[in-house]
A and B are shown apart, each in its own frame.
Chain A
Amino acid sequence: MHFRNLSLVSLVLVSSFSLTAQAAEDWAKIEQAAKGQTVYFNAWGGGENINQYIDWAAEQAQQRYAITVKHVKITDAAEVVKRIQTEQQAGRTSDGSVDLIWVNGENFSTLKRGQLLYGPWAEQLPNWVNVDTKKPVQQDFSESTDGLEAPWGTAQLTFIADRNKLATPPDSATALLKFAQENPGRVTYPKPPSFHGTTFLKQLLLDLSTDSAALSKPVDTEQFTKLTQPLWAYLDELHKVAWQQGKSFPASDAEMHQKLADGELLISLSFNPNEAASLVAAKRLPESAYSFGFKKGTIGNVHFLAIPFNAKAKEAAQVFANFLLSPEAQAHKADLKVWGDPSVLLANKLPQQAANPSVLPADVPTLAEPHASWVEALEKEWIKRYGS
């Protein structure tokens, strides 16, 4: 009996050991195959700090793994999704032009549904053990990731203002409207369907709606009309007193920051809790700039890395993604002087950062993204109502 138990235990031990040994061996094979490969990393190229971080990571990958990483600076991940689709239609099942793509939400769900992704691979990465799985790293806008994409960073909607011009920030959608009415022409948001514009709409919807459970399910027409009614009523009021009377909108969050710096706007917004601190460091916002959120919380999510089905350098793409998930790379990324993008790793894997007055206070709760299908419905309705 004892003997049998022992043998069972040892069997389990041995098999689990051999499993990890097997995994290590597999990974060594991937690393070996990755040597000399070139990864075309398609990632948004509009932020210098991000570009510089990617340059740094590319140098590290070259030194450590003999991998060449080329940053393909794109303006919109949807364009890359389109390119991958075109390649599939043209019968290009190997040697695709994209090896790794920075993606989430709608674009991920398009890629996943079109079976345009390689994998699962993400949860087999050696650095997966460092990932904080309490964060929504396995759900992307209510769509299960299924190991088809590896988390890279987290984000949370953050409002930015100048303390010298706005001492007590509005802490809800209603307070924001009141503030806009008191300061006509100084509040606006990026034009949907830009990413930040749509996120702002979702934020308002979450803040104004009474039934947040319905929002995490796929959208249906009846629900949509009912649930979004308060949102459109709100926007009708807001646009009356918004920047340019709501007849035109900034194109991006970056344009909002510039207008905040110019004094044209009193509130800007970002999807990076550390953005204001980074902008102050870059002298693009005055030192009195600070971040705030709503009392009920602001919308947050995780952004990911995925490998297309026809990628040429699948091995090198995984090795690079694994490096980007390492505590060292994640800590460097979170550094405000570098990029300031919050990490997806467990807190105990990372060095502590000094408190900075410009970053979003930690006590602002994170609200989950509505289901990905809401994005298109909201954007369509917005364009119908205010797009022309």
Chain B
Amino acid sequence: MRCLSLANTNSQSVDRGLSFIAWLGVLLILGLPLLGLIPIFMVGLQAKAWQLLWSDPQFLPALKLTLFSAGISTLWSLILACALVFLFYPSKTWQRLQQQLPIFLAIPHAAFAIGLVFLLAPSGWLVRLVSPLFAWTAPPTWLTTTQDPYALSLSLALTLKETWFLLWVMTGLISQEWLVKQSLIAKSLGYSAWQAGWQILFPQVLKSLAWPLLAVFAYGLSVVDMALILGPSTPPSLAVLAWQWFADPDPIQQLKAQVLALVLVGLLVLGAGGAYLAYKFLTALWSKPSGRRQRTSVIRFLSPWFSYLLTLPFWLSLGLLLLWSLADSWFFPQIVPSRLGFATWQQAELEPLLMTLWIATCSVLISLPLALLWLEWGKQRQAYLYLPLIIPALPFTAAQYQLALLLKLEGSLSAVIWSHLAWVLPYILLVLTGAYQRLDTRYLLTAKTLGYNTWQACLYIKWPLLLRPIMAAAAVGFAVSVAQYLPTAFIGGGRIETVTTEAVSLSSGGNRATLAVQAVLQALLPLFAFMTATSLSRWYARQHPGLN
């Protein structure tokens, strides 16, 4: 009896200790910068700052552009991701898409944007491909395919990229038993998979998609690197404007940048509110289905092309990045380079690559255990953990920078890793939470009944069972760290060079071959992480048959 109560207090103190670590970690990573945001947001109280912003001629058109590109890309990526699921799940095409999914997810936004420019620009590969037909010796002047004034190319790039993010989120959702059963019943009642998908599954998964969709919208609002590469410049999007103003030594521009950061947050709240109303409206609309079975022959006829339409841009972009990195000289209208060589690769600096590898590895090694501790011993549902995914990256990074300055840590590797954690940790949590909550609690209960304390039950039962999502989360965290530009540039004081900062600073330099090399490296690193994660979990599954 005494023995039992002793073990009990012991395990309680272990629990308390672990809970303390989880809270401390989260506070250090997310709490501190959030506090640092307060002075930035205090600016919103100054009427003068709002007047300044309002009187800037770029503000209103940029606002329209930003709302358009972020809104339309969120909407379309939702529609396209759902369409992919309803058309192809489960089929051979679905499996093929699933095999390609990690690759598309892993390609950083900047690298994909650069590849798309190589593909779509007026002097890009597509125009080169058709130029012999029209006898073009120079790119046509009437063509505006990238950096168009309506931000269509930016929206397209965001849509393509985020479709795969949402598809990945949905992959986790649709394999749930009750959804599979429901669609089976619908099919047995004569509904096509397409109609059942939109009328039965869609309203139900939409709720679980709320957070990912908000993250997609927030990303669209605050993206800087992609907007610089593909977006218009007269005016640029709001995030680019804020970025330029933050970098301006003029205090007036600084003020405008801070208010603009607030505006971005306001837009997000507005967007979320609008989406919620739309959701309510749609569910009300769908609550009385007509019961008509739609014919889907046209959709079935088009569907094979549809999947290629979404995968081809990625493969072509990647191929062009590779080709450009090997091109020795390549002028318009040549379809392939006149000479190939490894000269650019030989001159490429490898230090940024190693630095990126190191920062990303450290970020994951800190975030992953912390995320697991948090899910078990912290509080599982805490919306503010996801704030960094939703607050535009600029003010958040500015707050981090102020803190680093105070602690005299700016320019140090540890501070850069710390700044990355603010994005890596939430993304890892985002990936893990669903799988974590879905796991049958009876496993843990049984383990505890048989004498394990919570720590042991997690270590020997729960975490091994969750190995696949844990590895996936690690890979996502790695990819997120690799793609970080703003925190690396700000907190690193320019002293810490990663493949991403290299690629962005080279993108203002214009040598496509060198740019392509850095973009290829930027894409390869996360790819490598996803491959490692997959093969590790496969290996583990082989060692432990019966696990899935």
Contact = CB atoms under 8 A, between A and B. Distances in A.
Interface string A64-81: 000000101111101111
Given A75-B504, A244-B144, A42 B494 contact: yes
B129 interface: no
A258 B248 CA distance: 27
Interface in A184-235: 184-186, 191
B495 A248 contact: no
Contact of B332 (A110, A263, A383): A263
B493 A97 contact: yes
A45 B502 CA distance: 9
A72 B410 CA distance: 14
Nearest to A85: B249
A97 B510 CA distance: 28
Contacts of B13: none
Contacts of A40: 495
* Residue from A85, A186, A247 with most neighbouring chain B CB atoms (10 Å): A247
Contacts of B347: 48
B296 interface: no
Contacts of A262: 123, 138-139, 331-332
B406 interface: yes
B532 interface: no
B449 interface: no
B172 interface: no
Given A45-B505, A97-B495, A248-B144, A263 B138 contact: yes
Given A70-B495, A248-B148, A388 B505 contact: no
A92 B408 CA distance: 9
A45 B505 CA distance: 6
B62 A388 contact: yes
Interface string B63-80: 000000000000000000
Interface string B322-350: 00000011011100000000000001000
Contacts of A249: 233-234
B61 interface: yes
A248 B149 contact: yes
Given A248-B148, A262-B332, A384-B57, A47 B248 contact: no
B142 A48 contact: no
B228 A259 contact: no
Contacts of B147: 248
Interface stretch (A20-28, A282-290, A356-364): A282-290
Nearest to B248: A78
B247 A251 contact: no
B248 A254 contact: no
Given A42-B494, A383-B57, A387-B58, A48 B233 contact: no
Contact of A97 (B333, B410, B497): B410
B497 A283 contact: no
B511 interface: yes
A283 B410 CA distance: 39
B448 interface: no
B378 to A, nearest CB: 33
Nearest to B59: A388
B122 interface: yes
B149 A247 contact: yes
A254 B57 contact: no
A191 B233 contact: yes
A95 B405 CA distance: 12
A132 interface: no
B141 A243 contact: yes
A386 interface: yes
Nearest to A86: B405
A83 B495 CA distance: 13
B423 to A, nearest CB: 21
A283 B248 contact: no
A329 B330 CA distance: 33
A110 B234 contact: no
A85 B249 CA distance: 8
B146 to A, nearest CB: 9
A261 interface: yes
B451 interface: no
Contact of B510 (A73, A248, A258, A283): A258
A46 interface: yes
Contacts of B232: 248
Interface string B122-147: 11000000000000011101101001
B320 to A, nearest CB: 14
B511 A48 contact: yes
B233 A263 contact: no
Interface string B387-413: 000000000000001100110101100
Contact of B57 (A247, A251, A387): A387
Interface in B408-444: 408, 410-411
Nearest to B139: A264
B244 to A, nearest CB: 8
A131 B233 CA distance: 41
A59 interface: no
A314 interface: no
Interface in B484-509: 493-495, 497, 501-502, 504-506, 508-509
A264 B144 contact: no
Contacts of A72: 493-495
B163 interface: no
Contact of A75 (B141, B406, B505): B505
Nearest to B146: A248
Contacts of A257: 510
Contacts of B508: 46, 75, 251-252, 254
A257 B249 CA distance: 29
A82 B249 contact: yes
Contacts of B328: 283
26 contacts: A40-B495, A45-B506, A46-B505, A48-B347, A73-B497, A73-B501, A74-B505, A82-B246, A87-B405, A92-B408, A184-B141, A186-B141, A247-B149, A248-B144, A248-B148, A248-B149, A248-B233, A251-B228, A252-B508, A254-B508, A254-B510, A262-B139, A262-B332, A264-B123, A282-B511, A284-B511
Given A46-B506, A74-B505, 15 more contacts: A48-B347, A48-B511, A78-B249, A83-B493, A86-B401, A95-B408, A185-B142, A248-B232, A248-B233, A251-B233, A255-B510, A262-B331, A263-B333, A264-B122, A384-B57
Interface of B: 57-58, 60-62, 122-123, 137-139, 141-142, 144, 147-149, 228, 232-235, 246-249, 328-329, 331-333, 347, 401-402, 405-406, 408, 410-411, 493-495, 497, 501-502, 504-506, 508-512, 514
User: When A and B form their complex, which 7 residue pairs have the shortest distance between CB atoms, in order from nearest?
Assistant: A185-B141, A254-B510, A46-B509, A262-B123, A263-B138, A72-B494, A388-B235
